[in-house]
Homo-oligomer: A and B are copies of this chain.
Amino acid sequence: MDTGRGTGTDGRAGAVARGRGRAGEAGGVPTLEDVARAAGVSRATVSRVVNGVRNVDPAIQQAVQRAVAATGYVPNRAARSLVTRRSGAVALVVCGTGSAATGGRDEFAARVFQDPFFGRVVGGVVRGLRPRGVHPVLMFADTGEDRAEVLSYLTRGGADGALLVTTRARDPLPGMLAAAGVPAVLFARPPADVPLDHVDLRHREGGALAARHLLARGCARLAVIGGPADIPASRERVAGFCDAVAAAGGRVRAGTGDFTLDGGEHAMRLLLAEQPDLDGVFAANDLMAQGACLVLREHGRRIPDDVAVIGFDDSSAAAASRPRLTTVRQPVEDMAAEMVRLLLDRVTGITGVTGITGVTGAAAGADPGPAKGAPTGTEPAAVLFAPELVVRDSA
């Protein structure tokens, strides 16, 4: 010790302004030491109060909290991390930007975010994290290099866990994270042999919803426009649709797009050529549904009178198109919030910046949640959400 330590109760408030840490002032950030001095207790005690540890005399607790308020003390993340070996941060990893394949300027990584879907996830995550004072570290992971970086970042403790959003079926990252023992929660079901918590939509059910709606409308000559083959969600949507139609004794003509507007247009053109009298179309995402509408109209079909069209996702494009698209909505924001819950459940004690448990008052009132237990022991939790049909003008 250098500055007047050991002065005990004698070392009054004057000491606060001593040394390099002018507590509470703009000059220097107050430390535990400053608070301890101001409260007339030891650093250890202050630490206990700040971290909400029991076994602290109520009177002293009061005094410390006053001192904390007076000095404007806020825990130093780095120092805390150094000893606890936890960063108090979580990584939000997004795959499927397409940057890997192209790398070009135009086919730029940012494209992901052009898809409102990712935006909704990000929003849901930020919102779910906010009450805990935690902010996500954003990372893209498309190339092998990216993945190595993500893994390294996490294993090094840059973040205590990861929220992973990927649509590709054969993404190696989930396996890598699981193998490395990094706490992670996926948006979408992980590969069969990868034991990771995840949330997902009942995609088949969504497809079935669309089918039943079309059938109920009296549509009899149905077609479906599927998405990329390597996106499981897309295949399930289509399968759910086809199964439901088959169950009703119908048949479905199948086309394929690539989740883009052009893809939808192209597929629709083909479908229309094959079967000019079709009266119902289900596309595995909204953008393709929109493309289908464009082509249908171009061919003089009225929507929904001649042909009814249903999309999937309820992206912003759905409501912004004319006719406004009937679609299957996935509660993306809720799903994202649930991911956060799952991750924070596993990684106990992720508390962000504020981190003054005793002061901020407990663990933030979580919402009821979609009725599902917390992960039992170490077995991966899976929370499945129900799709919802949003009926607008196109069907």
Which positions in A face B, CB cutoff 8 Å?
A: 29, 74, 76-79, 81-82, 87, 89, 91-92, 97, 105, 108-116, 118-124, 126-127, 130, 133, 135-140, 149, 152-153, 156-158, 261, 287, 290, 294, 315-317, 320, 322, 333, 353-354
Q: Is the CB of A138 within 8 A of B156?
A: no
User: Of B110, B120, B137, which is within 8 A of A114 by CB?
Assistant: B120
Q: Is the CB of B118 within 8 A of A110?
A: no
Q: Chain B residues with Cβ under 8 A from A320's Cβ?
A: 261, 287, 290, 317
Q: Is the CB of A122 within 8 A of B116?
A: no
CB distance from A281 to the nearest CB of B (A): 17
Q: Is the CB of A76 within 8 A of B157?
A: yes
Q: Is the CB of A78 within 8 A of B89?
A: no
Q: Chain B residues with Cβ under 8 A from A153's Cβ?
A: 135, 353
Can you name 24 A-B residue pairings with CB atoms under 8 Å? A29-B156, A74-B156, A77-B157, A77-B158, A78-B79, A81-B81, A89-B137, A108-B123, A110-B120, A110-B121, A112-B123, A113-B122, A114-B315, A114-B316, A118-B119, A126-B139, A126-B140, A137-B137, A137-B138, A153-B353, A261-B320, A294-B322, A317-B317, A317-B320
Provided the pairs A76-B82, A114-B316, A119-B118 are in contact, do residues A92 and B124 lie with their beta carbons within 8 angstroms? Answer: no
CB distance from A267 to the nearest CB of B (A): 16
User: Of B110, B138, B354, which is within 8 A of A333 by CB?
Assistant: B110
CA distance A129 to B157 in the complex (A): 19
CB distance from A230 to the nearest CB of B (A): 22
Which single residue of chain B is at the shortest CB-CB distance from A91? Answer: B135
Q: Chain B residues with Cβ under 8 A from A157's Cβ?
A: 76-78
Provided the pairs A149-B133, A353-B153 are in contact, do residues A120 and B124 lie with their beta carbons within 8 angstroms? Answer: no
CB distance from A137 to the nearest CB of B (A): 5
Q: Chain B residues with Cβ under 8 A from A105's Cβ?
A: 333
Additional A-B contact list (6), CB under 8 Å, known A77-B156, A111-B123, A317-B320 = A77-B87, A89-B137, A108-B127, A110-B333, A116-B116, A137-B138
User: Of B89, B110, B322, which is within 8 A of A122 by CB?
Assistant: B110
Q: Is the CB of B116 within 8 A of A123?
A: no
Q: Is the CB of A156 within 8 A of B76?
A: yes
CB distance from A350 to the nearest CB of B (A): 14
